[in-house]
Amino acid sequence: MTFEVDMWEPIEYKAKHSIDLTEEEAKWLLERKDPSDLERLYRLADEVNERLNGRVVSFIHNMNVNYTNICEYHCTFCEFKKLPTSKDAYILGFDAVKRAMDEAEGELSEITFQGGLSPKVKFQEVLDLLSQLREAYPEVHFHAFSPEEIDYYSEETSQSYLETVSQAKAAGMNSMCGTAAEVLDDEVRKKICWEKISSEEWCDIIKTSHKLGMPSTATILFGHIETPQHVVNHLRRVREVQRESRMITEFIPLLFMPDKTKLGRVIDKSMDRIAYAFKMIATARLYFMNDIRNIQTSWVKLGWENALRSLSYGANDMSGTLYHENITREAGGENGEYTPREKFVREISRVGRIPQERDTVYSFQRTQATVT
């Protein structure tokens, strides 16, 4: 018979006194299932969030530019990629992107610029598109390229990561997307995205961006085959990178959407996915307490009501308006979402929080030492 140690006492003490949680404590939190434990976790995460961010909830007016959906990798969770022969495959040119950006309501703050991986799309062509956009929109922040794209283009051009990221920066990149992280545990990566870079390489590329003065985000794709141990391995790596550079602006937990994917067919269907998402947000808030101030929730993945609920479980950022889908529709893509700023303001206020539009690097937090 095994007895489980109750870790609430040290965890609550640490949370109240801003002392870092260990990986073991974070894992224990992720293993909680009892509703009363979950309530306790959410309350604690909310307290820490309140201490760091007050009642403020931020969002950004942004657009996704996925410059191509052609990708020759085989990640088992991906619904986005198309083969070059697909009738829905596209490669965007400057005119199509410009048209979409010009149609956006009000001035866009950020463009998230990413694409699939294929010999059909050369790094130089992508850089040319980025420089043209940079020239046409000097005020916009280009949040560009995942570590995976950097690795792919480094290989294509036989350059080091440093050279590749430097070229991207010269073309107009302002910060790096912390995507393609999936779960930073090579045991999981080998099963769900075996062609992708290792966890170590992902961290190296993120650190390269930081060395060149460009911040990044950090994501996790969860809700598939990972265990709490895999998750804490991921959290530990992200915290280690952050402790070297302090240049990760936010942590973004992305709930895996199983429909229509290969991976979706093998996961545990009985799992309460929304409850898991809340637990992930709350645990990330506590684990990153002294290292990453912003924990994002996703209205696209969780739906508006659940995303609003998660603001009481440790999240302080509602992500973006995601003004993008007219580009992909035009280019042959499917569906899409855009939510005007007014809805963010209205909904965030409705749950008793203070809406605050932000830029990519949360500049407002630098001028607002105490948020009430």
CA-CA distance, 48 to 210, in Å (whole number)? 27
Sheet with 56-60: list strands edge to edge: 317-320, 56-60, 354-357
Query: Cβ closer to ligand SF4: 179 or 209?
Result: 179
Closest separation between CB of residue 199 and ligand SF4, Å?
16
Which residue is associated with the tokens 């403020």? 56
- Asked if 189 is part of the footprint of ligand SF4 (rule: CB under 6 A), the reply reads no
| Distance of closest approach, residue 102 Cβ to ligand SF4, in angstroms | 27
Question: Rounded CA gap, 281 and 272, in Å?
Answer: 15
The secondary structure of residue 68, as a DSSP letter, is B
Smallest separation, CB 220 to ligand SF4 (Å): 14
| CB closer to ligand SF4, 13 vs 194 | 194
Q: Kindly identify the residues of this chain, within the stretch 143-162, that bind ligand SF4 according to CB under 6 A.
A: 148
Half-sphere exposure for 34 (CA within 13 Å, toward CB): 5
Report the run of H or E that residue 57 belongs to, with start and end: strand 56-60
Cβ 265 to ligand SF4 shortest distance, Å: 16
Q: Which of residues 114-143 bind ligand SF4 (CB under 6 A)?
A: 116-117
The dihedrals phi and psi of 253, each to the nearest 5 degrees, come to -80, 120
Closest by Cα among 250, 253, 252 to 274: 253
| Bridge partner list, 255 | 222
Which CB, 116 or 178, lies closer to ligand SF4?
116
Question: Least separation, in Å, of the C-beta of 117 and ligand SF4?
Answer: 5
Q: How far is the CB of 80 from ligand SF4 (least distance, A)?
A: 5
CA atoms within 13 A on the CB side of 363: 7
| Smallest separation, CB 121 to ligand SF4 (Å) | 12
- The structure tokens listed for 221 are 């794709």
* Position 148, amino acid: E
27/189 with CB nearer ligand SF4: 189
CB of 70 vs ligand SF4, minimal distance in Å: 9
Q: Which is nearer to ligand SF4, 115 or 314 (CB)?
A: 115
Number of residues located near ligand SF4, criterion CB under 6 A = 10
- Residue 119 to residue 336: CA distance in whole angstroms: 27
- The DSSP H or E segment spanning 168 is helix 161-171
Mask 318-357, x = binds ligand SF4 (CB under 6 A)?
----------------------------------------
- Using the minimum distance from each CB to ligand SF4, give the nearer residue, 65 or 71: 71
Residue 73 or 276 having the CB closest to ligand SF4:
73
Residues of this chain, 36-95, that bind ligand SF4 according to CB under 6 A: 71, 73, 75, 78, 80-81
Please name which of 92, 91, 88 lies closest in space to residue 100, comparing C-alpha atoms.
Answer: 92
Between 53 and 118, CB nearer to ligand SF4: 118
Q: Which H or E run includes 44?
A: helix 35-53
Q: How far is the CB of 302 from ligand SF4 (least distance, A)?
A: 20
The DSSP code sequence of 197-238 is PPHHHHHHHHHHHHHTT--EEEEEEESSS--HHHHHHHHHHH
Task: Determine, following the binding rule CB under 6 A, whether residue 177 of this chain makes contact with ligand SF4.
Answer: no
Residue type, 246: R
- Closer residue to ligand SF4 (CB): 164 or 312: 164
Least CB distance to ligand SF4 at residue 51 (A)? 36
Residue 24, phi then psi, degrees to nearest 5 = -65, -40
Q: Toward ligand SF4, which CB reaches closer, 60 or 117?
A: 117
Interacting residues toward ligand SF4 by CB under 6 A? 71, 73, 75, 78, 80-81, 116-117, 148, 193
